[in-house]
Structure 1
Amino acid sequence: MSDDKLFEQGMVTRRAVLGDDHVNRAKALTTSLDDDFQTFITQGAWGSVWSRPGLSKRERSIVTLALLAALGHEDEFAMHVRATANTGADANDIKEALLHVAVYAGVPAANSAFKIAKQELAKRQEAAQ
């Protein structure tokens, strides 16, 4: 697939997972410093990996949450908790993924992620009311 097609597919998938508001904000904040990086993640993460047919968006979401939690990437973890509104992963999926994180990556990583997940899910619930 050409770079242009990967980018186009990446933007479609990125918007489907993260939402138009998030992607529009990211685009608006892009400068010459991070323009190549934004293209790279749109083509690589979103156009190649997230767009593959092997796993559903829900399954990819669960894997991504577990990896981000295990690695302690809290901002990205919070963003992907918010994205579960679009991927079909639910609070129980998050809980199960974080229990795996606790066993395989450590209780402190899971504890931090549970705290973030509770905050993000509470914000979503408040916004829905």
Structure 2
Amino acid sequence: MVFNIGSQQGGVVNNVAGNQTVHGGQSGHLTADGRDVRDLVGELRTAVEQAPLPPAVAPGVHSELDALDTEVARPEPDREEVASRLTRVTRMLTSAGALVTASAGLIGPITALAGWLGALGRPILQAIGG
């Protein structure tokens, strides 16, 4: 028997040979370009860790990233909460000058997350000049 499976974008897809039992459901949160939202938060965290942040700003940014990661890990993240957290991270990075000197490492994940937020992400895009 042969199965030809086409495009699998837009959610959680399982190709299973045999039986599969799922308890508690499955979910996936993808951006318009197909990247997982949790992966984007991880990319942002990595970029923040590589950025030379002032000691007064770094703890606040890391705290917001922790809360952001917790929120996007939920089965149905609260997009308003994500937008609020991402806005605070963006403001802190901007006030520290990190976005002025940033490479795509910071801008890319922020832009992708803001895009995933839709209308809630527009102020974030405006704040970074996008």
TM (normalized to structure 2)? 0.33
Q: Identify the structure with the greater helix proportion.
A: 1
TM (normalized to structure 1)? 0.33
* Higher radius of gyration, 1 or 2: 2
